Amino acid sequence: TSFMLPPRIADSIAIVAHRGASAYAPENTMAAFELAAEMQADYIELDVHMSKDGELVVIHDEALARTTDGEGLVKDHTWEELRQLDAGGKFDPVYRGEPIPLLREVLARYAGRIGILIELKSPAQYPGLEEKLAELIEETVQGQPSDSSATPIMVQSFDLGSIQRLAKRLPDIPRAALIGTGDQPLLTDTQLSDIAAYADYINYNYEFLDWELVDRIHAYDRKVMAWTLRDSQDSERISRIGVDGIITDYPVWAYER
Ligand code: G3P
Ligand code: CA
């Protein structure tokens, strides 16, 4: 690695580089994932949509305009069209030409090297997406040494139905339920125990998290990660309430300064 890294603040908290090290490089690109790996994050987080011809592509929005030089929706473009887009120049001209990655390429490059947290953004919109994901993960895991538990592949979604289906289809792949948007962010005990039946993690909007909620989740023997930390004071608070992971644009915050 090209960085000299100071000691980690807490070894027990997994550091997840949100869309890669997205504070420093264009989100959801190989450049951001590579930087996260250099910063020795425990996981990269990424978002998946599907192209017109059924390829799983790594991009956050269903529309192209915010992060690329394309227009319209991902689902209305073939991979041949998408692969020619620039997903770096809007972040910073020095990244011009950085492409949208395929999920397959990210898995090939990083599985076994760093944890990979795959978010299915809107699986209901893409018939066949879950099955394609399952096949791709199976292929990837088969090619890995038997003990790759230090670098897990994990799947997460706000679509809890999708997480339930993946629990059946890929029982050995850890799953996280994303919680904390909308007007009812606090889970009742009934909701918590329902989710605990199919998810290994409950990944919560950090704004609603305190030690009590973390404790309630741990009482169901489930883990909790907080998203998305972009402020160092919030990050300090969250690192003291017992969370198992922090999803942040700034993986360097894992280190003492
Ligand atoms: O990892 C959780 C977080 O990524 C969810 O929000 O919009 O950044 O995908 P978003
Ligand atoms: Ca995400």
Q: What is the pLDDT of residue 6?
A: 76
pLDDT in tens, 156-168: 999 999 999 999 9
Our mutation pick for probing the ligand 1 site, out of 46, 120, 208, 228, counting the most ligand atoms within 8 A of Cβ, is: 228
Q: pTM for this one?
A: 0.96
Residues above pLDDT 90, as percent of the chain: 86
Give residue 251's Cα distance to chain centre. 13
Q: Is the CB of 18 under 6 A from ligand 1?
A: yes
Q: What is the pLDDT of residue 186?
A: 84
CATH topology of domain 14-254: TIM Barrel (3.20.20)
Say if CB 47 and CB 28 are below 8 A apart. Answer: yes
Look at residue 115 and tell me whether its pLDDT is greater than 90: yes
Distance from the alpha carbon of residue 19 to the mean position of ligand 2, in angstroms: 7
Structural element, H or E, at residue 126: none
Q: Is the CB of 27 under 6 A from ligand 1?
A: no
pLDDT in tens, 46-66: 999 999 999 999 999 999 999
Q: What is the pLDDT of residue 185?
A: 72
Q: Is the CB of 247 under 6 A from ligand 1?
A: yes
Nearest CA to ligand 1 atom 7: 60
Which residue in 109, 113, 104 sits closest to 58, CA to CA?
104
Look at residue 15 and tell me whether its pLDDT is greater than 70: yes
Phi-psi region of 128 (alpha: psi -120 to 50; beta: other; left: phi over 0): left
Look at residue 1 and tell me whether its pLDDT is greater than 60: no
Q: Is the CB of 227 under 6 A from ligand 1?
A: yes
Residue ranges per structural domain of the chain: 14-254
Task: Report, as an integer, the average pLDDT of 184-191.
Answer: 85
DSSP bridge pairs for 247: 16
Q: At what angle do helices 189-196 and 211-219 cross, to 10 degrees?
A: 50
Q: What is the pLDDT of residue 144?
A: 82
Say if CB 48 and CB 120 are below 8 A apart. Answer: yes
175-179 and 223-229 beta bridge pairing: unpaired
Task: Clarify whether 218 is annotated catalytic.
Answer: no
Annotated catalytic residue: which of 49, 60, 77, 218?
A: 60
Look at residue 183 and tell me whether its pLDDT is greater than 70: no
Our mutation pick for probing the ligand 1 site, out of 175, 224, 227, counting the most ligand atoms within 8 A of Cβ, is: 227
Distance from the alpha carbon of residue 162 to the mean position of ligand 1, in angstroms: 16
Task: Clarify whether 60 is annotated catalytic.
Answer: yes
Look at residue 2 and tell me whether its pLDDT is greater than 80: no
Q: Is the CB of 45 under 6 A from ligand 1?
A: yes
Ligand 1 atom, smallest distance to 16 CA: 1
Task: Report, as an integer, the average pLDDT of 191-220.
Answer: 96
Ligand 1 atom, smallest distance to 178 CA: 2
pLDDT in tens, 65-101: 999 999 999 999 999 999 999 999 999 999 999 999 9
